[in-house]
Amino acid sequence: MEKSIIIIYGQASRSLLGNLARCNNIVDLAEEKDYEFIPGVRYLVVWNDKVDPNIKEEQQPYKIITQEKGIHLGPRGENHWDISRMNYLITKDGCIFKFIYIKYKWELSWLNKETYDLLSADDTVIRNNVRNPRLSTGISKKTGRPWYRLNYQVPDNSNDVASYLNDESYIKSYDTVKYHKVIRNNTDIDNAFNYFLSTDQLYGLDYETSGFPFDDKDFYHMGVSIVGIDGIAAYFDMEGMDTQTHNLDYFLSRYKDFLIRKLRCAIPVTYHLK
């Protein structure tokens, strides 16, 4: 398997990684501004939770990748959160990306009075080393003695992230399109959607548009492609559908039903506007 690389911005971001920082290759885009992404490599892109307001340049790896590096991930109008909901993305040139936010869990440390007093007087040390430190004290109901503790958050790296970085089988291999048809009439619309709704599989959607921004008066949809993992695909040519015989209206009603039923069954749908 090709090596995996974690993408961060700034040394402060390294503290967000927990155990991942000790066992993986890391590229810091703050230091390696000319870094070129390599096809076939798995990149784990971490949201920068330590943005420095004194730095003028962009500090989010996601934006550096998509804007400064000019890498087109597929969907348009997306942000880091949208892309983080996908298991991974493979770009046209073969780079593999997974975008994540580091999740955290709470941990607890019991302190003696001297340490508690020291940290209470100046919490700079713990704030520079742990996330959301919270000092507290009280009296034990059982012993009547005072207690002192520190609660803080540590990275909770999921097995999914570890699998993405290290598991050969995580990236799935699918066959190419085996059969496709351009759809314009009601009979073909029925045949296509009856088939797509009869199979329990993942589908991808590709919207063809006029290419103008969404809010432009000349923006319009030209067509929609649907393809299943089994390699069966259809392109619904909305421009070529006869409005006189209500082909377009019929397509829109069947397409709406398709989306509702697939999403209701919790079957993910990916999309691409172009």
pLDDT tens, 206-215? 888 776 666 7
The CA distance from 107 to 115, in Å, is 17
CB burial string 136-164: b at 16+ within 10 A, e below: eeeeeeeeeeeebebebbebebeeebeeb
What is the domain-level CATH number for residue 266?
3.30.720
- Maximum distance among all Cα pairs of the chain, rounded to whole angstroms: 85
Judge whether 133 and 125 are in contact, CB under 8 Å. Answer: no
pLDDT digit string, tens, across residues 11-62: 777 766 766 766 668 999 999 999 999 988 999 999 988 788 888 788 999 9
Q: What is the pLDDT of residue 208?
A: 82
Name which residue leads in pLDDT, 252 or 273: 252
Instruction: Give the three-class secondary structure for 153.
Output: strand
Q: What is the pLDDT of residue 66?
A: 87
Above 70 in pLDDT, residue 270? no
Residues 96 and 114 in one domain: no
Token pair 């919207």: residue: 207
Structural domain contains residue 171: no
- Mean pLDDT for 223-251 is 87
Reported as a pLDDT band with limits 50, 70 and 90, residue 99 is: very high
Least confident of 26-30, 74-78, 89-93, 123-127: 74-78
Residues 191 and 261 in one domain: yes
Structural domain contains residue 20: yes
Above 80 in pLDDT, residue 78? no
- Mean pLDDT for 194-207 is 87
Residues 54 and 149 in one domain: no
Residues 183 and 90 in one domain: no
Name which residue leads in pLDDT, 265 or 4: 4
Q: What is the pLDDT of residue 19?
A: 67
Q: What is the pLDDT of residue 195?
A: 94
Residues 42 and 76 in one domain: yes
Residues 115 and 91 in one domain: no
Structural domain contains residue 263: yes
Q: What is each CA distance from 121 to 68, 116, 202, in whole angstroms?
A: 44, 9, 57
Structural domain contains residue 32: yes
pLDDT digit string, tens, across residues 156-182: 766 688 888 888 888 877 667 789 999
How many separate domains does the chain show?
A: 3
Above 80 in pLDDT, residue 271? no
Residues 132 and 227 in one domain: no
Residue 239 identity (one-letter amino acid): E
Q: What is the pLDDT of residue 269?
A: 54
Name which residue leads in pLDDT, 167 or 216: 167
Domain span at 206: 179-270
Q: Which of 166, 198, 220 is the last residue of a domain?
A: 166
Residues 139 and 235 in one domain: no
Above 50 in pLDDT, residue 274? no
Structural domain contains residue 172: no
Least confident of 144-148, 160-164, 218-222: 218-222
Residues 71 and 198 in one domain: no
Q: What is the pLDDT of residue 183?
A: 93
Residues 134 and 203 in one domain: no
Residues 38 and 121 in one domain: no
Residues 57 and 162 in one domain: yes
Reported as a pLDDT band with limits 50, 70 and 90, residue 273 is: very low
Above 90 in pLDDT, residue 110? yes
Above 60 in pLDDT, residue 272? no
